Amino acid sequence: MSVVQKVLLVTGGSRGIGAAVCRLAAKAGYRIAVNYVSNRNAADALVAEIEAAGVEAFTVKGDVGVEADVLGMFEAVDRRFGRLDGLVNNAGIVDVKARVDEMSAARLERMMRINVIGSILCAREAVRRMSTLRGGTGGAIVNISSVAAVLGAPGFYVDYAASKGAIDSFTVGLAREVVEEGVRVNAVRPGIIETEIHASGGLPDRVAQIKEMLPMKRAGTADEVAHAVLYLLSDEASYTTGAILNVSGGR
């Protein structure tokens, strides 16, 4: 009997937490679709690294906040692997530090389009393929939230925090909606993690500045988040759905 090799799509899989998830998932035996939006070199390098370890992987360019791109991304996975077993809704952005009374509508629309609508569109496409109600064989979705959803990120980016609050509600709602269809939906809430996202929000020294205020006196690593994601994707979490797991070092 041939063993089916599971397929995982990781949005924003080219760098940071997403790349750590791709590496660990490849080790766990998944074939990987690595989504990215602009940094092709990083995505290509990651796929080369995974393939060198003997695991099938490919890059798929697309902005999760653009519906046509999302459709194209999932069609590319259909063509390449012909099945889907898991989605990690990891692609996400912050913006520059600002108070709410300084935020433009354009900023808010971009934040919600990528972080919230993007995740919901990707989950929609995944459910269309994995739900037993639609002829699929089941699967798992892991959404990447943030402890900002609980802390609110006042003075930094309340809009980002609100977008992650939406991810938490979406996780609980979708989990219950598809619970009888073989699809589990969970979320991970990272705390401060050492990735390039802080520099992209204009705060390259964020980790160094906040370190001493964190309960463990250090930021987390992308790997520490990825281990939690892999657990929630795995059959070991077969009775876990609608859960939101803090990976925040006690913050």
C-beta closer to ligand NAP: residue 131 or 186 = 186
Does 251 participate in binding ligand NAP (rule CB under 6 A)?
no
Report d(CA 247, CA 250) in Å as an integer. 8
Cβ neighbours, 10 Å, residue 110: 15
Q: Considering only residues 7, 8, 9, 16, which one is a binding residue for ligand NAP as defined by CB under 6 A?
A: 16
Contact 31, 57 (CB under 8 A): yes
How far, in whole angstroms, is CA 131 from its chain's centroid? 20
Q: Annotate 225-238 with b (16+ C-beta within 10 A) or e (fewer).
A: bbebbbebbeeebe
> Alpha helix locations (H) across the chain?
16-27, 40-52, 67-81, 105-112, 118-130, 148-151, 158-177, 197-200, 206-210, 222-233
Report d(CA 53, CA 94) in Å as an integer. 33
Annotated catalytic residues are 160
Out of 7, 8, 9, 14, the only residue in the binding site for ligand NAP (CB under 6 A) is 14
Number of residues that bind ligand NAP (CB under 6 A): 30
201 counts as binding ligand NAP under rule CB under 6 A: no
Contact pattern from residue 87 through residue 126 relative to ligand NAP, giving x for each residue in contact according to CB under 6 A and a dash for the rest: ---xxxx--------------------x------------
Which of 6, 24, 36, 139 touches ligand NAP by CB under 6 A? 36
Considering only residues 208 through 247, tell me which ones interact with ligand NAP, judged by CB under 6 A.
Answer: none
Q: Which spans of this chain sit near ligand NAP (rule: CB under 6 A)?
A: 11-12, 14-18, 35-39, 42, 63-65, 90-93, 114, 144, 146, 190, 192-193, 195-197, 200
